[in-house]
Amino acid sequence: MTEVHGHEEADDCLDLVTIFQSLPADDLAKISTLVSDRHFKTGEYIFQAGDPADVLTIVAHGQAKVFQIAANGREQMLRVLQTGDFDGEAALFTSKDRTSFAQALMDTNVCQIHRSDFQNMMKTSPDLALNMMNAFGKRLVKMEQQTTESAAASVEGRLANYLLETGAGLKQAQFVLPLKKKDIATYLGTTPETISRKLTSLDKQGLIEKKTNSEIKILDSDGLAMVE
């Protein structure tokens, strides 16, 4: 893991996250001074179970999987963090330890805001506190809308979007899937067998080319984006 410096990266991170997008420019400028930027190589842990959950982590670029270790020692996928996603917003207000792991699936840049820094700023800026409450309320409404839209989208559509996001994160059209099919299935709410069938379907449609069982090449990005 390496640390990157520069307020430009911090501003870009804040622009990505919905809970900050409704805040005035002055408040965003204050928050950007609290943001630290870090780079994680493929396979590195962004956080691990047992670590203090004292930071909000924003994915500026890349992809990471969040998982827990089950009693039998196997990984249990929880979610995938893509560019613009974040984890640990509750850490801005509560003190606890992590119960999950986050591992970079490709070279990933993240921005982080520590709870103590953020809380100190909220104490000196009542407007910031009020704006944050409003921003969280809007985010909850948007999350409900996204859940409804996700449920309505087909597995093929969700898979096509996942492939596009992964290709964009890796900045290449041909790549080995960074997740196992069972984990992609968990992420998309389906089965590994369905993932295999849908990959074959996308291949037959000429949208992708299956190089191997785990390596694909995106042939038609616009076509993938249109899959519903």
Compute the CA torsion angle 60, 64, 68, 74 (nearest 10 deg).
Answer: -170
Length of the chain in terms of residues written: 228
Phi-psi region of 43 (alpha: psi -120 to 50; beta: other; left: phi over 0): left
Q: Which amino acid is at 157?
A: G
Q: Quote the distance between the C-alpha of residue 138 and its chain's center.
A: 19
Give pLDDT tens digits for 12-28: 788 877 667 777 788 88
157 contact partners, CB below 8 Å, separation of at least 6: 227, 228
- Assign 3-class secondary structure to the chain: CEEECCHHHHHHHHHHCHHHHCCCHHHHHHHHCCEEEEEECCCCEEECCCCECCEEEEEEECEEEEEEECCCCCEEEEEEEECCCEECHHHHCCCCECCCEEEECCCEEEEEEEHHHHHHHHHHCHHHHHHHHHHHHHHHHHHHHHHHHHHHCCHHHHHHHHHHHHHHHHCCCEEECCCCHHHHHHHHCCCHHHHHHHHHHHHHCCCEEECCCCEEEECCHHHHHHCC
Who has greater pLDDT, 221 or 135?
221
Give pLDDT tens digits for 138-158: 766 766 665 555 555 689 999
Give pLDDT tens digits for 39-70: 999 999 999 999 998 998 989 899 999 999 98
- pTM across the whole model: 0.81
Return the pLDDT at 191: 92
Give pLDDT tens digits for 60-118: 899 999 999 988 988 899 999 998 888 887 777 778 899 999 999 999 999 998 988 88
